[in-house]
Structure 1
Amino acid sequence: MAMSSHSYRALGRHGFHRIHYTEWGDPANPNVLICVHGFTRTSRDFDFLAAALEKDYRVLCPDVVGRGKSDWLNDKTEYGYPLYINDLAMLLARIDAERIDWVGTSMGGLIGMFLASYPETPIHKLLINDVGPRIPAAGLKRVADIVGRVITFDSIEHMDRTLRIFAAVFGNLTDAQWRHMIIHNARQLPDGRYTANYDPGIADNLKTMDLQDIDLWSVWDTIRCPTLVLRGANSDVLEHADAIAMTERGPKAQLIELPGMGHAPALMADDQIALVRDWLLAD
């Protein structure tokens, strides 16, 4: 089946905003998978994974507000996890699924972690890609320093060459996969130049925070669903010791570390897709 695009209105403190999502597979399939991207990424990062799983699942991949084709907020202070969680809870209500599986990269993993921690959660299986209950201040600072700046490129080719160097931590990807990532995470400006496809205001709250380690272990300890944690072996967002602790408390997750990668594995390569698929579909 081909990918289709949809949207819905979600409600924040200052009014409604529209959330875009892509959908793959049979809309009548009761087996539902939701895939949520990282802080500066978009739903289209999951195209390869969704295409591989559409025979097994109805797959939905949202653009978190401020990213991709979803609306940007006028009040930048509203960007944050309370709104992201509420927006995705509205998606769960929209599809009315009794249970879902969840794949979340970085920010998407944290949203899934929060939703999985609530009583009567519909999340049946939770796969968290390179994030955990403790987020080091150094990783937060790196994100804050980069995200709030509008970096422009003369052409898609210029953007491609530059980001292949910057995003080498995502792992070994084919030329077609790199190109896919660039095209779907680029936005053309009125002057013809290109920049990343997100609202720079998503970083405003980070800039005003006293950046210290974020501790969410109390949330992690309430999760009870089967959980898999993927970690790039060179990650500065999910440290090895924290990943080990995630296997010892809360849902006592299974851990797989992926060599030669940092934050965060792209989940586009065939071996990574097979790893995700095998775990999701195992009894």
Structure 2
Amino acid sequence: MDHLSLVTHRELEIAVRVFHPEAPKTVVAWHGLARHGGDFAALARELGPEWRVLAPDTPGRGLSSWSMYPANDYVYAHYMTVALAVLDHFSLDSVPWIGTSMGGLLGMLLAADPASASRIERLVLNDVGPELDPSGLTELASYFTVPHRFTRLGQLEAELRRHYAGFGIDTEDGWRQLTLESARRLPDGSWTYHYDPRIGEQFVHDTPRDTWSDWRAIRCPLMVIRGEDSTLISEDIVQRMGEAQPTLETLSVPGCGHAPMLDRPQQVDPIKAFLDSTTSAQQEAVDANALPWWKRWLGIGH
């Protein structure tokens, strides 16, 4: 992280980790259910210095405020207003969005909603989609709706290695870094995770919706990444996503489950190519605007 911005939204303070703050291009990277924006440090490094990466901590996670009203604030409808407040803070009319798990669903909802669709220029979903495997979702809900407490930091690290095996982390330094960025000390000296234990109430309070309808409504360029061993999104779901959105780009990541960390060239290079690509419609608009005004008025060049 090169800079930290603090955005006030209603009564909550949102911490936004900024990588390459002076870069000419910007992408928003939004984390999963129980993670935080620090997970995208390696993504920022691999994207390179031409990309400013804005990585917010969702309320209840990382450095952001915890809510006194989880039933109101730890739900997607509120996260959408938080996301728009972040975009407004940075004066971003339209921006590419990379979302892991919950962060991907948040980007999908923004891109599908007529009131916010224009704010998402293109969307990358990391191991998530409009339909999730029920057993994988149940496992997530069961894990994050109960508090976790560890007597020693080493116990917390061991549990991280077990629970987040799907991240594909394959170095001791990687696991130690994840531990340092995930731990919070309790008053009695024991350890727990960084997040508010009540974030799991999202599974109770959030309103069910037809996310396939949301998926079909999206009009921006789309890419989905799936961990080869994902327990949350199947190959069949990815195939159906492509049938509903024929221009969808896909990437399968070997050696990962839910969800790839986006921390190495094999995972990030395809994302970078997608972010840098220009759709035919965008190119036509660029070409048209390059014509003299009188040719555009007469329709010359079309």
* Same-fold call, TM cutoff 0.5: yes
Paired position in structure 1 for 2:12: 17
Amino acid at match of 1:57: W
Amino acid at match of 2:39: D
Paired position in structure 1 for 2:61: 67
Give identity over the alignment, percent.
33
Contact 2:2 2:21 survives alignment (8 Å): no
* More helix by percentage: 2
Question: Which has the higher mean CA deviation after the structures are superposed, 128-137 or 50-59?
Answer: 50-59
Q: Does 1:254 align with 2:253?
A: no
Say which SS state the counterpart of residue 33 (structure 1) adopts. Answer: strand
Report 1:81-230 matches (<5 A). 81-119=76-114, 121-207=118-204, 215-230=210-225
Paired position in structure 2 for 1:36: 30
Contact 1:149 1:200 survives alignment (8 Å): yes
Paired position in structure 2 for 1:8: 7
Query: Structure 1 residue 268: deviation in Å?
Result: 1.6
Contact 2:75 2:206 survives alignment (8 Å): no
Contact 2:26 2:95 survives alignment (8 Å): yes
Q: Does 1:238 align with 2:233?
A: yes
Question: Which has the higher mean CA deviation after the structures are superposed, 245-254 or 192-201?
Answer: 245-254
Say which SS state the counterpart of residue 244 (structure 2) adopts. Answer: coil
Contact 1:30 1:97 survives alignment (8 Å): no
Compared CA separation, residues 175 and 278, structure 1 to 2 (3 A)? farther
Say which SS state the counterpart of residue 139 (structure 2) adopts. Answer: helix
Q: Does 1:264 align with 2:263?
A: no
Say which SS state the counterpart of residue 271 (structure 1) adopts. Answer: helix
Query: Structure 1 residue 55: deviation in Å?
Result: 1.3
Query: Structure 1 residue 68: deviation in Å?
Result: 0.6
Q: Which is higher, the Rg of structure 1 or of structure 2?
A: 2
Q: TM-score, normalised by structure 2?
A: 0.85
Query: Structure 1 residue 99: deviation in Å?
Result: 2.5
Compared CA separation, residues 108 and 65, structure 1 to 2 (3 A)? same
Paired position in structure 1 for 2:290: none
Task: Give the distance between the partners of 1:239 and 1:39, measured in 2 at CA.
Answer: 19
Q: Deviations over 1:221-277 (max 9, x none)?
A: 111111110011222211211111111213641111122321111112342233322
Query: Structure 1 residue 147: deviation in Å?
Result: 0.4
Contact 2:253 2:267 survives alignment (8 Å): no
Task: Give the distance between the partners of 1:181 and 1:281, measured in 2 at CA.
Answer: 29
Paired position in structure 2 for 1:55: 49
Question: Is there any run of 5+ residues in structure 2 with no aligned partner, and where?
Answer: 279-302
Say which SS state the counterpart of residue 143 (structure 2) adopts. Answer: helix
Contact 2:28 2:95 survives alignment (8 Å): yes
Q: CA RMSD in A?
A: 2.1
Compared CA separation, residues 54 and 191, structure 1 to 2 (3 A)? farther
Match of 1:282 among 271, 277, 300: 277
Query: Structure 1 residue 141: deviation in Å?
Result: 1.5
Paired position in structure 1 for 2:295: none
